[in-house]
Structure 1
Amino acid sequence: MGRKKTPLSDSLAVKASIVDAAEALFRSVGYSKTTVGEIAKALGMSQANVYRYFPTKASINEVICERVVLRIEDRCKSIIDSTSSAQQRLSLFMLEYFRAVKDNVIKEQRVHEMVVKAVEQYWTVIQEHVNRMDIMVQGILSNGIKAGAFKEVDIPATSLALQNAFSAFTYPALVERQIADAANSGGEKRIEADLLNLAAIVLRGISA
């Protein structure tokens, strides 16, 4: 016999179903057009019941946005765990970061709308995402210094400088603009070539 669900597990299951329903609606009708009433209707429950678990629509948005950024982070982590050299790891990390954001722009356009708003308003979930990405970049730099691949640099300051330098390839609204511009100037391969050229310039500056 299976173990009986506890009230906590029941609550977590209901919260997950609310977020799943909201995310599905975001994809079908868009972030701005989805209401708590529609989320409740999709689940066959009352709005009041939804509000028992999430006090506002914004709190549901935060959870969905967190799902999106965690998917991006998981893709970037796969690069950190690779056996590539420190220089390759830094280039490939930024390339994968761009590709993950790009895929969200192209394949999840309606969810992307929410992510752009989250970045513009610097939601808590975005602040936490930025911090985690910073930790990953600092880890690449630290390991590169230990391996003798990179110069001794101020790791936090260099990480911030790198992320600022690559913002055109990682900031959702700028990635969307790049994709639109690339349609008339060589396609997405041109964007990736630009990114790798920037990475080469950066690496010349920090390589030992």
Structure 2
Amino acid sequence: AICDRLVRHIELRCRESIVRDETSTDRIKRFILEYHKTIMVNIIKEKRLYDMVSVAMDEHWPVIQEHSERMMDSLRIIIERGISLGEFRNNNAVETTKTVYQAIAYFIYPSLIEHAVNDAKNNEQAHSMEEDLKQLLDLILNGLRSGV
């Protein structure tokens, strides 16, 4: 129940980030950046929550699978909207969504984030994961755009 509340909170924050009537490009950026930020704040910085989510992911709890499916559905809807408006190339929205979701895994999976944060601290790196994510999003969105 605690894990379900946590993932629902993440989903709510992400949905709230896209309510403005802007381009699909802007919506994807805000949605994914909010996803990353919310995980950083609510999971990585809270050791007990991190431990619970790590176990849930390792043991493939249904709540985590359902969360991933809902997040991918939200992302798919944004991509479909972008395709229908001619903002994005006419691709298979389901396959494109899976590809985008897999590409951002490093920035949304708690254990991967934790490793990246620890590596950055150990190597005294000045750049942030958020900056790296923004660069990845630029690359992804350039690939999605229709060129019109």
Report the TM-score, using the length of structure 2 for normalisation.
0.92
Amino acid at match of 2:119: D
The answer on whether the counterparts of 1:80 and 1:140 sit within 8 Å (CA) in structure 2 is: no
Amino acid at match of 2:54: V
1:112: Cα distance to partner? Answer: 1.1
Q: Secondary structure at the match of 2:17?
A: helix
Q: 1:204 aligns with which of 114, 117, 142?
A: 142
The CA distance in 2 between the partners of 1:177 and 1:100, in whole Å, is 17
Matched with 2:38 is 100
Alignment map for 1:1-208 (pairs within 5 Å): 63-183=1-121, 184-186=124-126, 190-208=128-146
What percent identity do the matched residue pairs reach? 35
Report the TM-score, using the length of structure 1 for normalisation.
0.66
User: Greater relative contact order: 1 or 2 (C-alpha under 8 angstroms, separation 6 or more)?
Assistant: 2
Q: Gapped runs of 5+ residues in structure 1?
A: 1-62
Q: Gapped runs of 5+ residues in structure 2?
A: none
The CA distance in 2 between the partners of 1:105 and 1:129, in whole Å, is 15
Count, aligned residues: 144
The CA distance in 2 between the partners of 1:104 and 1:173, in whole Å, is 13
1:92: Cα distance to partner? Answer: 1.5
- Which runs of structure 1 show a deviation greater than 3 angstroms over 4 or more consecutive aligned residues? none
> Rg bigger for which structure?
1
RMSD: 1.2
The CA distance in 1 between the partners of 2:65 and 2:43, in whole Å, is 20
